Amino acid sequence: MRVAKEFFVERDRGEILSLLDEDVTFESLFPGMRVTKRDGPRREIVAPNPAPGTDHPVRFRFETLPDGNLRFDKICDGNIWRSLAGGIELEPSGHARTRVKLRLEGKTRSLVPELAIRLPMREQVDQMTESLRVRLGAG
């Protein structure tokens, strides 16, 4: 299952790269997120698990690639996801304008139908996109 969103920001790619390098940008992607580890271009981000009856947190790893784009994956230690990964790509689009692309791709565990998780996954990408739009000043 794959979900993608994109939007434009009236800033050049360099400005956006600076904003993407701040912990607060990562922490704004999910409610309750906080950066727990940072090692150069890699960060681990943790949030409370929204699923009822679970006490282990949701954990993501983000990595800033040499070209400035981001790659991330969820540490899948629960009952829903077999794998969940994505990226944030920045593409110059004219003078002082950048296209921001957010993509998320996942595979559920064998007993979890993808149809049941499709809507929550789209809602999550919508939330992440809106958070990035606000943080990057897309208006």
| pLDDT at residue 43, rounded to an integer | 95
In angstroms, how far apart are the furthest CA atoms of the chain? Answer: 50
Residue-wise pLDDT for 66-102, tens only, equals 999 999 999 887 778 889 999 999 999 888 899 999 9
Instruction: Compute how many other C-beta atoms are within 10 angstroms of the C-beta atom of residue 88.
Output: 23
CATH of domain 2-136: 3.30.530.20
Please check the confidence at residue 111 and state whether its pLDDT lies above 80: yes
Domain boundaries, the chain: 2-136
Taking the C-alpha atoms of residue 6 and residue 103, their distance in angstroms, rounded to an integer, is 9
Rg (alpha carbons) of the chain, rounded to whole number: 15
Hey, what are 3's tokens? 């979900």
User: Which of the four pLDDT bands, split at 50, 70 and 90, describes residue 119?
Assistant: confident
Instruction: Compute how many other C-beta atoms are within 10 angstroms of the C-beta atom of residue 44.
Output: 16
- DSSP bridge pairs for 108: 81
What pTM was estimated for this model as a whole? 0.86
| pLDDT at residue 139, rounded to an integer | 58
Give yes or no for a contact between 76 and 82, defined as CB atoms under 8 angstroms apart: yes
- DSSP bridge pairs for 45: 35, 60
Amino acid, res. 82: R
Sheet with 58-64, edge to edge strand ranges? 2-9, 98-108, 81-92, 70-74, 58-64, 42-47, 34-39
Residue-wise pLDDT for 3-51, tens only, equals 999 999 999 999 999 999 899 998 888 878 899 999 999 999 998 876 6
